[in-house]
Structure 1
């Protein structure tokens, strides 16, 4: 069984849907552009630990940080072609496949982190995920290192 992903977060609840009894021990190739000191790599390592725990060691990730498998576009193509199992990158890398994904790059779109989670974990997030599923990609979860927002009025003049 191959998992495909375009974005990533610690998304363990969905993993319980897989029947580990039908899986042979398997390593999944997981590529991303960020360095080994970046928060995405730290999260990927934690995700790997949790994945192994939830699947009783039948699934594990082989991590490829630092653009080892290519840039984001190359890795997305690899996921679509089946040479890479998972990929993590920004939403801007998917707009060529689904222009509606541009929505995620609108500044100040969300009031706060809770609003972002509520929106992306609901119908809007489901619709965005569906826009990529016909393209050979499966979004496991949304991940954001920052949210552009402002809590003060700008004064001019």
Structure 2
């Protein structure tokens, strides 16, 4: 009996540690980007908190495809994680499209209130039916218009300009209402189209304008602040549901802590980026914000009804 107990104890003492698990994370943005910074912070938190048992392998710069490709890989369970712009997610889960309602967010403080609102998790969970999780929102800043023709001050200054927008009805409808000629196209085509003059301009977050070297092919950047840009840290529902609960909890918390950490970093960086763009030769100007809001109001209400009037009203109320 004593020998048997000793043998059992010895066998238990030499059991191998829990096997290391490698999770692959993809995103389409360059090595110097908000998305990469978020991925690195998330990797640090997950690996530290799991004592190295969970490893995150990051595949940046479109190595695994564009946003749509990464989303589909998550849905089919061929990829664990992704950092993905929320706008393309609307094609899979329409409620998340409420984030793209033009002139919904007043300022960064308004965005911060959303991330602590009691309905925040419900908004995130709207993508689960499409077989991927949104673990957190990652703020990227307000989107602004660049072009080579003139500074945009009034909505009428956009009349006739060919402006590249995300392949989303929200963005197309927004810029049609503002008088522009929106050109929906994949980001991979944009730099060349700007360079060749096939389009007059584009719209994006300030940090993306800088990180993607838009200043090399554009002269004016106007602070239209028409839509707030978000990315999110996503996970494959098919794969994630099979993880042990302790790993699920660890990943969810690491994602939320990443978002909290990056919120302050990105907000501070946006203020610095405008100076960097000026140093690169771009001319930056403010716009008549009240005029833009007035023109876009009917479109705002229509878009809210198409996606989620409930979430729209809740988000809007946070600013009151």
**TM-score of Structure 1 vs Structure 2, range by shorter chain:** 0.7 to 0.9
Asked if 1 retains the 8 angstrom alpha-carbon contact of 2:23 and 2:55, the reply is yes
Match of 2:49 in 1: 54
Write out per-residue CA displacement over residues 31-61 of structure 1, whole angstroms, 9 at most, x where no aligned residue. 0000111122122112211211111111121
Higher strand share: 2
Higher helix share: 2
Partner Cα distance (1:63, 1:146) in 2:
23
Partner Cα distance (2:290, 2:40) in 1:
44
Match of 1:68 in 2: 63
Match of 2:28 in 1: 33
- Which residue, 78, 85, 108 being the options, matches 2:80? 85
Once the 2 structures are TM-superposed, how far is the Cα of residue 140 of structure 1 from its aligned partner?
0.8
TM-score (norm 1): 0.75
Match of 2:92 in 1: 97
Across the two proteins, how many residue pairs are aligned to each other? 135
- Cα gap change, 1:66 to 1:154, in 2 (>3 Å): closer
Instruction: Report the RMSD for the aligned CA atoms in angstroms.
Output: 2.4
Secondary structure of residue in 1 paired with 2:24: strand
Once the 2 structures are TM-superposed, how far is the Cα of residue 155 of structure 1 from its aligned partner?
7.5
Once the 2 structures are TM-superposed, how far is the Cα of residue 136 of structure 1 from its aligned partner?
1.0
Decide which structure has the larger Cα Rg and report it: 2
Q: Which runs of 5+ in 1 are unaligned?
A: 1-21
Matched, 1:138 2:148: no
Q: Which runs of 5+ in 2 are unaligned?
A: 1-16, 144-224, 227-285, 292-320
- Cα gap change, 1:111 to 1:81, in 2 (>3 Å): same
Asked if 2 retains the 8 angstrom alpha-carbon contact of 1:108 and 1:147, the reply is no
- Cα gap change, 1:147 to 1:53, in 2 (>3 Å): same
TM-score (norm 2): 0.39
